[in-house]
Amino acid sequence: MAMDAGVIKQMIVEAMPDAVVVIEDLRGDGDHYAAHVTSEAFRGKTRVQQHQLVYKALKGKMGDELHALAVQTATPE
């Protein structure tokens, strides 16, 4: 079952309320997304730690309801 882009965004923002999240459906199938997430929560963390925060926000949906998510993270300028 595919996961709605709005749900992905909502889950990330719930975990990181300051996050600016842009979700892109890469194939139009609801299974392959790219997430561009900007949050102060990433400051001082490695890229791996930043991505772990995003995956943790998805509460185990990766690999189940959500097949593929390409993550790009950044801190605010």
For position 71, what pLDDT does the model report? 96
- Report the predicted TM-score, pTM, of the whole model to 2 decimal places: 0.89
User: What are 33's strand-pairing partners?
Assistant: 25, 69
Q: Which CATH architecture has domain 18-74?
A: 2-Layer Sandwich (3.30)
Give dist(CA 30, CA 18) in Å, integer. Answer: 25
Give dist(CA 11, CA 19) in Å, integer. Answer: 11
For position 20, what pLDDT does the model report? 98
Q: What is the pLDDT along the chain (77 residues), one digit of tens a residue?
A: 578 899 999 999 999 999 999 999 998 877 789 999 999 999 999 999 999 999 999 987 776 777 789 999 999 98
**Domains in the chain: boundaries:** 18-74
